[in-house]
Amino acid sequence: MRYEIEIRKANMNEADLVDRVIKAAYAPLMKILSRPPKALTERTSTRARQIQFGHILVAILGDELVGTVRIYADGPRGFISRLAVHPTHQRKGIGTALLTAAERALAEKGVKYFELEIYDKVDFQHAFFSVNGYIEVNKFERNGEIIVNMQKSAKKALEEEI
């Protein structure tokens, strides 16, 4: 049976489900990084607050929450973080659909560019965002890990949708 992916803002009663998806998706990073990523140590109450503010989008496949992404706008910058797809549903276009929806939602808020951070050691993150038009603009150290800052023009994202 094939389902359409529905992308929408998360509901308050989905904080635990969002938490489970993030923990499942980020767990493999524990083998790569020297310390747990912040996504794994963030409290469910923090995620619930982000849901309340409308900053969390979710991907629904059938009746199952299978992916999530956090967004927020700050002036000309639109931040994208915590993009996660449950491992049993990865490599099915859900991450790309979430990223596209995140970019669209931020562009509607008038941002000029999208910004995100990834771990330098995690090759699949770099590959995914590069394929989706993000370019590396900076590297820096945070808590013993090298972080890569990537950006993409909001105008370019909107042109890609047309």
Q: What is the per-residue pLDDT across 70-105, written as a single tens digit (0 to 9) for each?
A: 999 999 999 999 999 999 999 899 999 999 999 999
Beta bridge partners of 140: 147
The answer to whether the CB of 21 falls within 8 A of the CB of 84 is yes
**Mean pLDDT, rounded, for 8-35:** 92
Q: Which of 15-24, 41-50, 121-130 shows the lowest per-residue confidence on average (mean pLDDT)? A: 41-50
Query: Any idea what the Cα angle at residue 127 is, between residues 125 and 130, rounded to 5°?
Result: 105
Q: For residue 40, give its domain range.
A: 5-161
- pTM (two decimals): 0.91
Six-digit token string for 80: 């994208």
Domain count, the chain: 1
- Cα separation, 5 vs 58, in Å, equals 10
Token pair of 16 as six digits: 């635990």
Residue 1: band (very low, low, confident or very high) from pLDDT cuts 50, 70, 90: very low
* Whether the Cβ atoms of residue 126 and residue 88 lie closer than 8 Å to each other: no
C-beta of residue 95 within 8 angstroms of C-beta of residue 85: yes
Phi and psi (nearest 5°) for 76? -80, -10
Looking up residue 85, the CATH number of its domain turns out to be: 3.40.630.30
